[in-house]
Structure 1
Amino acid sequence: MRQGYCKLTGVVLRRYETNEGDIRLYVFFRDCGPLWVVAPGAARGRRRFGGATEPLIWGYFGCYRSPNQLYLREVEVKEDHWGIRTKPNKLERAMIWARLLVKYLLPAHPCNDVLVIFYDSLYLLERDVEEGLVEWRFLYRWTKRWGLAPDISRCASCGKKLVKACWDEDVLLCERCHPKNGEAISCEILRELITVVMLSRKNLVEWTQKKKSKANYALYNEKLKNILERSLT
């Protein structure tokens, strides 16, 4: 990024105020990846941005790039996800996702595909799709992009198409290959997991309005989070 003024598109993942009265934002930018942005004196009212510096704000960020720092000059809010902010459970879930992005994304490393997945997930969360289901979609699509997600259509051992499956560490195995003490996934649940990942967000909203989820998403989401955690070691 060259020195001087620039206008970037992104979403605020983290915000905190310094003892000097500055506001520091960790913003996930399109084409630039996550970067720290400083708004000098903004916490003392020297420069007012209102709610535009809150986490989950999407917008255009007018910045000045010095040799060592990116400074915030203006923000044009495009999406505030008010439907999430007014519901504590949804807000907590969205902030969990934001913290995962802060933890696992490389600073200044472009990752536009994950940015799109994050927006897609917030869109679904705001439309009252079940939180655990949306988190499965978010985590699976993310880990799939990074080559970490388990194949949920074929056995990791013999390669045959899965009808019923079993988790074995970080992979899914068929009935023939999995250990007897494994965590079994029925045919119906397996189809649901695949459907949630594959449908467009519009079709997924319609699908969830007609069908009640039966999958144990808390368990499956934890497995995907463990895969992300191990990817750093």
Structure 2
Amino acid sequence: MRQGFYKLTGVVLKRHETSEGDIRLYNLFRDFGPQWILAPGAARGRRRFGGATEPLIWGHFSCYKSPKQLYLRDIEVKEDHWNIRSNPDKLERAMIWANLLTKYLLPLQPCNEVMAVFYDSLCLLEGDIDESMIEWRFLYRWMKKWGLAPELIRCASCGKEVTTAYWDGDVVFCEECRSNKDELIIPKEELREMVFAFALPRESLVRWIQRVELRANYVVYNRKLRDILRLSLA
């Protein structure tokens, strides 16, 4: 970013108050990626932003870029996800996702596709939908954008379409190609559900969930995805 004034669209991932009374925000910005932004004296009331500096706030951030620092001047809030921030369980889940983005996204590197996945997931989290399933959708869509997600439809060895899947490490095998008897077995009903969970558009997913009973053990599958993410980006 060159020196000058900017109006950036983004979301607050992390908020930190310094001992000097400043507020530092770690934001994910469209076209500019994640980076720190400083509001001098804001924690002491020198400039009041209210709740607009809380994590999960989406908006337009008016900033000034100096040679060394990005400074916050004003915030126009567009989405506050109040239904999430007023529910402790949903807030904890959303902050886990925000912390993953903080940890694994490269600073100053644009990642608009992941930003869109995060927004989609937060919108779903506001509704009455299984949180573990939404996390599966969030993680899988993010990792698929980066080429890290396991292919669930075809065998990693022979390329044939799988019915029952055998998940070993970061790949999935069919029954004929499996070699490790300790891999995670995904029955065909669950596999079909998992594909629908990440592939359907948001509105279609909400309608589909109203008609089906979820069977997949997303807690286990999410743990597998987080392990792949951690090992791939370590």
* TM surpasses 0.5: yes
How far apart are the structure 1 equivalents of 2:224 and 2:52?
34
**Who is 2:144 aligned against?**
144
User: Does 2:94 align with 1:97?
Assistant: no
1:73-92 equivalences in 2 (<5 Å): 73-92=73-92
**Who is 2:223 aligned against?**
222
How far does residue 120 in structure 1 lie from its aligned partner after superposition? Answer: 0.3
Show CA shifts across 1:94-127 (max 9, x none).
Answer: 0000000000000000000000000000000001
**Who is 1:32 aligned against?**
32
**Who is 1:210 aligned against?**
211
How far apart are the structure 1 equivalents of 2:166 and 2:89?
30
**Who is 2:120 aligned against?**
120
**Who is 1:189 aligned against?**
190
How far does residue 182 in structure 1 lie from its aligned partner after superposition? Answer: 2.1
How far apart are the structure 2 equivalents of 1:231 and 1:180?
24
How far apart are the structure 2 equivalents of 1:87 and 1:14?
18
How far apart are the structure 1 equivalents of 2:95 and 2:183?
32
Q: Secondary structure at the match of 1:16?
A: strand
How far apart are the structure 2 equivalents of 1:182 and 1:42?
52
**Who is 2:233 aligned against?**
232
**Who is 1:201 aligned against?**
202
Q: Secondary structure at the match of 1:107?
A: coil
How far apart are the structure 2 equivalents of 1:168 and 1:176?
14
**Who is 2:16 aligned against?**
16
Q: Secondary structure at the match of 1:113?
A: helix
**Who is 1:158 aligned against?**
158
How far apart are the structure 2 equivalents of 1:88 and 1:161?
41
Segments ≥4 residues shifted beyond 4 Å: none
Q: Secondary structure at the match of 1:74?
A: strand
How far apart are the structure 2 equivalents of 1:73 and 1:187?
53
How far apart are the structure 2 equivalents of 1:173 and 1:101?
29
How far apart are the structure 2 equivalents of 1:172 and 1:91?
32
How far apart are the structure 1 equivalents of 2:183 and 2:117?
30
How far apart are the structure 2 equivalents of 1:196 and 1:133?
7
How far apart are the structure 2 equivalents of 1:45 and 1:157?
61
Please give the TM-score of this superposition, normalised by the length of structure 2.
Answer: 0.98
Q: Secondary structure at the match of 2:84?
A: helix
Count of aligned residue pairs for this structure pair = 233
Counterpart amino acid of 2:74? Answer: E
How far does residue 167 in structure 1 lie from its aligned partner after superposition? Answer: 1.0
How far apart are the structure 2 equivalents of 1:232 and 1:195?
27
How far does residue 212 in structure 1 lie from its aligned partner after superposition? Answer: 1.6
> Matched residues, percent identical?
64
How far does residue 168 in structure 1 lie from its aligned partner after superposition? Answer: 0.5
Counterpart amino acid of 1:6? Answer: Y
Q: Secondary structure at the match of 1:37?
A: strand
How far does residue 72 in structure 1 lie from its aligned partner after superposition? Answer: 0.3
Q: CA RMSD in A?
A: 0.8
How far does residue 156 in structure 1 lie from its aligned partner after superposition? Answer: 0.7
How far apart are the structure 2 equivalents of 1:122 and 1:100?
14
How far apart are the structure 2 equivalents of 1:230 and 1:183?
18
How far does residue 210 in structure 1 lie from its aligned partner after superposition? Answer: 1.4
How far does residue 53 in structure 1 lie from its aligned partner after superposition? Answer: 0.1
How far does residue 4 in structure 1 lie from its aligned partner after superposition? Answer: 1.4
Show CA shifts across 1:176-197 (max 9, x none).
Answer: 1223332211110000010011
